[in-house]
Amino acid sequence: MIPGHLKTPVTIVTGFLGSGKTTLLNNLLSQTHDRTLAVIVNEFGEVSIDAPLLDTREQGVELHDVHGGLLAYGGEGDAFARTLRALQSRRHTFDHVLIETSGLAVPTAVMVTLETPEFAGDFALDATLVVVDTPLLLEGAFQTQTDEAAARVFDAQLEYADVAVLNKIDSLDDAQLLQAEADVRHRAPRVRFLELAYGARLDTQLTLGLNLHGSRRSAAHQAPVSGTPGDLSVPLHDHTSLDGHSHGDLDAHVHSLSTHQHFHEHDPGWQSFRLTSDEVQNVPELLRTVQNVARVFPVLRVKGFVNGTDGGRYALQAVRSRVETDPAPARAGAPNELIFIGYHISRKKVTEALQKALPQRWA
């Protein structure tokens, strides 16, 4: 690296399906008028839904959509590398890179890619944030005995995060928040900080420019000296002993690259499919139907856009059987489209359930 050459910081935002990553990222973008950002969005699915949900500004944000859910691997890996190369060639035009991984991705794939000789001289990992669906956590949705596949992915995301963001907490009391924090600490003792996101909002000072990996040693596997920043023996709740330096263990966890591949290549149970309809929808009726479908079938996530009989267009979001809609920008001629994601879900059975409950045709 050229002496005095400044690296562009990169923040990774990860989290399980429906944790609220896109909403949190969107709120973050609305607070960053003082800097320019490049945003890379990755999804698990046939088409991108998250990218249109990001209300990006014309000035200050450029959005890159890499869908497929396998960010940094295979064909999507080539797309990811091409995106980084494009950004690399004009780093002077933006201040920070934000990467939102899919809900089924483990962030180590991106972390290791940033460490390759091709990119290490120009990009530096600033921090990895994992967004947690706190109510689902408290409900025991990630208990291995009840939902092994989801728990496996969720725990891997936590394991390699620097900051855990407790999201969807507006209706929770102090006792519930303490329980959620204890659960995260138990699952992932390496997490450096826990932050609370009321209204899916975090101050930019708690997300950008953290420099949690800025001082990692270049020598592989070099252990931190006891009592110095990065010493994992220091109690995690003692934030005065953690000055924002890296815990220095990425090199020791390069094996996690294969762990990430395992979730996708050796666990074909994770599936997604897209259904569309050209007919306007009775939105309340559709919400009830999606909710019932999620209760009957192993559907963990539904997201998409629908055109209502009232003339409005809506973004539909469902996490298991919790379903809600928000107004979305009108798009003339745009069809209704829903992405279903789950573990061993049947496209045929879900389609039949929609057809049985709704007068509109979905296929």
The last residue of one of the domains, among 207, 240, 264, is: 264
- Report the alpha-carbon distance of residue 139 to residue 179 in Å, rounded: 11
State how far the alpha carbon of 7 is from the alpha carbons of 10, 296, 337, in Å: 9, 49, 40
Contact 210, 126 (CB under 8 A): yes
Q: How confident is the model at residue 56 (pLDDT cuts 50, 70, 90)?
A: low
217 with 350, same domain? no
Say whether both 256 and 308 belong to one domain.
no
CB contact at 8 A, 126 and 94: no
**363 lies in a domain?**
no
Rounded CA-CA distance 49/45 in Å is 9
What's the rounded Cα separation, in Å, for the pair 129 and 297? 30
| Domain closes at, from 234, 264, 294 | 264
* One domain for residues 230 and 276: no
Assign 47 a pLDDT band (cuts: 50, 70, 90). Answer: very low
Two structure tokens written together for 228: 């110095």
Position 362 in a domain = no
Q: For residues 245 and 253, what is the distance between their CA atoms, to the nearest angstrom? A: 18
| 188 and 312 together in one domain | no
pLDDT at 59: 59
Instruction: Using only the alpha carbons of the chain, give its radius of gyration.
Output: 21
Question: Does 3 map to a domain?
Answer: no
239 shares a domain with 344: no
| pLDDT > 90 in the chain, percent | 40
In CATH, what number is assigned to the domain containing residue 327? Answer: 3.30.1220.10
Does 284 lie in the same domain as 140? no
Q: Residue 236 half-sphere exposure, CB side, CA atoms within 13 Å?
A: 16
What are the start-end ranges of the H helices in the chain? Answer: 21-29, 50-53, 74-88, 108-114, 117-120, 134-138, 148-159, 174-187, 256-265, 283-296, 347-357
Average pLDDT of span 150-179: 93
Where do we find the tokens 């909403």?
23
- Domain hosting 293: range is 270-357
3-state DSSP assignment of residue 18: coil
Domain final residue, candidates 238, 264, 290:
264
**Number of independent structural domains in the chain:** 2
Looking at residues 40-56, what average pLDDT do you find?
A: 59
Choose the weakest-confidence range: 26-40, 114-128, 191-205, 348-362: 26-40
Q: In the structure encoding, which two tokens stand for residue 158, read together?
A: 């936590």
Residues in the chain: 363
Q: Which residue has the higher pLDDT, 332 or 337?
A: 337
**Interatomic CA distance for residues 190 and 221, integer angstroms:** 17
Give yes or no: residues 284 and 259 share one domain.
Answer: no
* Predicted pLDDT at 235: 33
Same domain, 200 and 305: no
Measure CA 108 to chain center. Answer: 13
Which DSSP string corresponds to 273-319? EEEEESS-B-HHHHHHHHHHHHHHS-EEEEEEEEEBTTS-EEEEEEE
> Is residue 81 located within the same domain as residue 214?
yes
Top mean pLDDT of 21-30, 185-194, 205-214 is at 185-194
Average confidence (pLDDT) over 143-158 = 85
pLDDT above 80 (res 144): no
Given a cut of 60, whether residue 168 has pLDDT beyond it is: yes
Is pLDDT at 177 greater than 60 in this prediction? yes
Q: How confident is the model at residue 146 (pLDDT cuts 50, 70, 90)?
A: low
pLDDT band at 241 (very low <50, low <70, confident <90, very high): very low
What pLDDT score was predicted for residue 309?
94
Same domain, residue pair 64 and 128: yes
Q: Return the CATH number at 191.
A: 3.40.50.300
Quickly state the pLDDT bin for 362 (edges 50, 70, 90): very high
Per the model's pLDDT, the better-predicted residue between 330 and 214 turns out to be 330
Mean pLDDT of the residues in the chain = 78
Residue 240 and residue 171 share a domain: yes
Same domain? 197 vs 223: yes
Q: Report the 10 Å Cβ neighbour count for 153.
A: 22
Residues 303-330: pLDDT tens digits?
Answer: 889 999 999 999 898 988 889 898 988 8
33 C-beta neighbours (distance < 10 Å), count: 11
Position 51 scores a pLDDT of 54
Mean pLDDT of 216-244: 32
Q: How confident is the model at residue 55 (pLDDT cuts 50, 70, 90)?
A: low
How far is it, in rounded angstroms, from Cα 148 to Cα 270?
Answer: 12
